[in-house]
Amino acid sequence: MKWSDGSPFTTDDIMYWYKDVLQNKDLVPKIPSWMQNKDGSTVLVEKVDSLAVKWTFKETNTNFLLELTTKDYGDRLYPHLPAVPSI
């Protein structure tokens, strides 16, 4: 998959969203429910390689893929943005 400018879509785009947007309290004051464990902590997202990420919940979450792809609770933050090169 590629972005509209032809750049490849990679796990760096997901990790940029996770680290620099989702966890930035100025941009996202409250972590959306679909990115929280039952205890309220943030789900862990880790880069496996350039095409794979690992989402780790503290407990089983069989609805995650459904929530990720089809739900809209008004707090929807799509889990990817074009990664911005470090300055």
pTM to 2 decimal places:
0.78
Q: pLDDT digits over 8-65, tens only?
A: 888 998 898 899 988 999 988 988 888 899 999 999 999 999 899 999 999 998 888 8
Q: What pLDDT is stored for residue 81 in this prediction?
A: 66
Report d(CA 30, CA 22) in Å as an integer. 9
What pLDDT is stored for residue 37 in this prediction?
94
Half-sphere exposure of 4 (CA within 13 A, CB side): 1
Q: What is the pLDDT of residue 87?
A: 43
Question: pLDDT at position 69, please?
Answer: 73
pLDDT for residue 4 is more than 80: yes
